[in-house]
Structure 1
């Protein structure tokens, strides 16, 4: 289970630009109008659905509608930039991913936004990756390791690019198990899933819904998840690689953020309302079915999570970006 940083760490985190409280004196009552929740992904996906359920649950408590606005593209940068440039009054939120807040800022390419342009509200979920092998290849971790070593690096796996989170997960697992595979780049999970189920790709390392689709079809087997702590409730029979040893944990996340310098009172109000929405049974069930851990905590907890995540992946992302 995710261990969140204690609130006692808030003093150090509040000094960070992304938690700057802004001017609170003379501010109008919050919220004073409908809110916009920007989702940097197309409609219909798991993130979009979760955002819509959260918006529905938050609206009655806030007293104003929460309107979901899908702004996909540029590895979530279009949506993130839109929120970073919005008025810092708490009425515009972002449902960000690990790509948005961890990977993009670590890459050498110039971004249209900075991590410091966004202020954390709450960590909504953490999401491990499933290592899925094609039908008949292996049934468990031990069998997979033995096969991979006998093939001497000839097995292949799908990747969304060298510095994508699913490749970081694959590299972490390979290093932890002392095996090697050949990377094949794709533009997303969908074609990887198709090729694995067709038997033309040996392994995919993908997030919950994609991994579970292959597993449930019978044309792929999840041999392990890259999470930590408790096993995912949706597949209690599948171990976490962390049970094999250290160094094989890799999770992305989803969380709510607002523009930097949003008043602290508005951030705290949004945090409280979001936490209440996250207790909705239909939201929790949907997230659990998608292979996600429901998180929570304070804005400072989320800020600490982001800092640690960046520190964890900075060196590997830098090496992979230069490869």
Structure 2
């Protein structure tokens, strides 16, 4: 028995790496179980729509279900922190927004997570904001500017907080157009939309789904978008403010990230699956109809985008935070 045991040990030592059972488990193909995509917003919003649309098409490409887990709260910090603390194996990923990866890290308040706790996978979409005026207020940029100047700062606009992306977009537009408006605080886009449509709020600066809802109701007019690319196909007659001046470009984004130290092989597999999913015509059409530009690219491309975005807004966010 002793000779057989020694022979077994010797034989095991002679097995090439990668053929033994422990080595096979160590090199198990990713993903080996369902992937959880954390969405740091409630169900039903633009981020949730983008996440679910993408997850549905990534699942067959990964060979595993992609499960949506909504973790809203604390300006997306709750969901981001949950992913930052997850096992760095690629099975837990985050659908982040510009608030998560651009604005929160620029604020002086201490966050539960740091930007470097998350590693980029892919930039999914970029989203311009729309300037929407209540019914009858103005028909285009020129009439809006003339009215705003004649009212001398008396028009009001909705804001989700001084350092929210929609307020930053509003400030970029006001400074670019040389006008002033009064900020009215809200807890989200939904109530802003309700008040605009009832006529109690003059202007909202919101993302595509809310803006398009106002337009389609007939109780709001989109006079311009803060995008830098071509006009949105869903509103081809509405200009980008960048056609008037480059300083009025302001976009948020959605992107996928994983915990820091996630293996590069898992990041690459997730990136490839997301890119392939984003090529589906029905997915692209769904996102375009929501006022989003489909992006893509490598993890390094997304990292570079985040750096540019942070550099762009660092001074303004710091100034608003101190006010």
| TM-score relative to the length of structure 1 | 0.90
Deviations 1:241-275 (A, max 9, x none): 00011200000000000001111111111101100
Q: Does 1:212 align with 2:212?
A: yes
In the other structure, the counterpart of 1:103 is 103
Alpha-carbon distance in 2 for matches of 1:171, 1:50: 26
In the other structure, the counterpart of 1:35 is 35
Alpha-carbon distance in 2 for matches of 1:198, 1:297: 42
Equivalent pairs, count: 298
1:116-155 paired onto structure 2 within 5 Å: 116-155=116-155
Alpha-carbon distance in 2 for matches of 1:203, 1:61: 43
Alpha-carbon distance in 1 for matches of 2:136, 2:188: 24
Alpha-carbon distance in 2 for matches of 1:98, 1:151: 33
Residue aligned with 2:149, SS: helix
Deviations 1:53-108 (A, max 9, x none): 22221111211111111111111111100100001111111000000000011111
Shift of 1:162: 0.5
Q: Does 1:183 align with 2:180?
A: no
Alpha-carbon distance in 2 for matches of 1:27, 1:262: 14
1:1-323 paired onto structure 2 within 5 Å: 27-323=27-323
Shift of 1:284: 1.2
Q: Which has the higher contact order (CA 8 A, sep 6+)?
A: 1
Residue aligned with 1:41, SS: coil
Residue aligned with 1:291, SS: coil
Alpha-carbon distance in 2 for matches of 1:194, 1:284: 29
Shift of 1:27: 4.2
Shift of 1:148: 0.7
Residue aligned with 1:108, SS: coil
Alpha-carbon distance in 2 for matches of 1:44, 1:209: 10
Alpha-carbon distance in 1 for matches of 2:229, 2:69: 34
Deviations 1:98-138 (A, max 9, x none): 00000011111111100000000000000000000111111
Shift of 1:286: 1.4
Residue aligned with 1:247, SS: helix
Structure 2: any 5+ residue segments left out of the alignment? 1-25
Alpha-carbon distance in 2 for matches of 1:65, 1:268: 18
Alpha-carbon distance in 2 for matches of 1:157, 1:49: 26
Deviations 1:199-224 (A, max 9, x none): 11111100001111111111110000
Residue aligned with 1:113, SS: coil
Shift of 1:46: 2.8
Alpha-carbon distance in 2 for matches of 1:214, 1:51: 23
Alpha-carbon distance in 2 for matches of 1:190, 1:264: 39
Residue aligned with 1:275, SS: helix
Alpha-carbon distance in 2 for matches of 1:183, 1:46: 23
Residue aligned with 1:312, SS: helix
Q: Which runs of 4+ in 1 moved over 4 A?
A: none
Shift of 1:43: 1.6
Residue aligned with 2:247, SS: coil
- Which structure dedicates a bigger proportion of its chain to helix? 2
Shift of 1:32: 1.4
Alpha-carbon distance in 2 for matches of 1:209, 1:236: 16
Larger Rg: 2
Alpha-carbon distance in 2 for matches of 1:201, 1:42: 25
Shift of 1:49: 2.6
Alpha-carbon distance in 2 for matches of 1:187, 1:51: 22
Structure 1: any 5+ residue segments left out of the alignment? 1-25
Alpha-carbon distance in 2 for matches of 1:241, 1:216: 21
